[in-house]
């Protein structure tokens, strides 16, 4: 069984805000993708398709094909491309509040491969290998639908993977290092 890290709810929300405004995110050369692992209904993705700040690249039933008979239960997965960085936090939080969800930051030429992984493997989709293919990429996985209590603090589960040449500023934001000293200038 995979062991996740935990992050205090307040720090999680700060991390999403920092990604939302960070100049370390380069949408000219990379795509910021969000994979919602399930828990949404079809209407959620239909509504999201009308949002000009994002593009729904794929949506489908999140479980094994045989379980599609239960599609009346909220269980839609989806892959969303963020077109305006300012939309990231709200869209990701909404998805992570209903299921385990991923942020995949990869060079644009890998986006189609991420889409294939999402659509062909749905409930078993794994995106860690993309951080090996692209040294300046990252994967962030979290679940914000339940909290656990550690040392009297509410915590969410999350995990992350970095490419070998990830910008240190992005690493710091996600690992929650130097929280009070974060800048928006790119450092390598």
Per-residue confidence of the chain (188 residues) as pLDDT tens digits? 356 789 999 999 999 999 999 999 999 999 999 998 877 777 888 999 999 999 999 988 655 554 455 555 556 789 999 999 999 999 998 888 888 899 999 999 999 999 999 888 755 678 999 999 999 999 999 988 888 999 999 999 999 999 999 999 999 999 997 654 333 333 33
Could you give the CA distance from residue 180 to residue 147 in angstroms, rounded to a whole number? 24
Tally of domains within the chain: 1
Are 160 and 142 a contacting pair, CB within 8 Å? Answer: no
Domain span at residue 110 reads 5-177
Both tokens assigned to 28: 């000219």
Could you give the CA distance from residue 73 to residue 166 in angstroms, rounded to a whole number? 39
Considering the domain boundaries, does residue 182 fall inside one?
A: no
Are 156 and 143 a contacting pair, CB within 8 Å? Answer: yes
Would you call 98 helix, strand, or coil by DSSP? coil
Considering the domain boundaries, does residue 183 fall inside one?
A: no
Nearest residue to 36 (alpha-carbon basis) of 85, 103, 82, 134: 103
Considering the domain boundaries, does residue 188 fall inside one?
A: no
């Amino acid at each position: 069984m995979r062991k996740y890290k935990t992050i205090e709810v307040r720090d999680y929300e700060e991390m999403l805000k920092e990604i939302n405004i960070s100049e370390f995110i380069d949408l000219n050369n990379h795509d910021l993708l969000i994979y919602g692992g399930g828990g949404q209904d079809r209407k959620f993705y239909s509504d999201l398709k009308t949002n000009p700040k994002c593009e729904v690249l794929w949506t489908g039933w999140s479980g094994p094909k045989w379980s599609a008979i239960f599609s009346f239960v909220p269980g839609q997965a989806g892959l969303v491309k963020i077109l305006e960085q300012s939309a990231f936090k709200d869209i990701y939080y909404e998805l992570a509040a209903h299921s385990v969800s991923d942020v995949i930051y990869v060079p644009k030429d890998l986006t189609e491969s991420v889409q294939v992984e999402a659509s062909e493997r749905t409930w078993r989709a794994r995106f860690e290998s993309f951080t090996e293919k692209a040294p300046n990429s990252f994967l962030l996985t979290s679940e914000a639908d339940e909290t656990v209590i550690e040392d009297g603090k509410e915590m969410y589960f999350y995990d992350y993977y970095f490419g070998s040449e990830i910008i240190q500023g992005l690493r710091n934001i996600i690992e929650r290092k130097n929280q009070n000293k974060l800048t928006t200038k790119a450092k390598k």
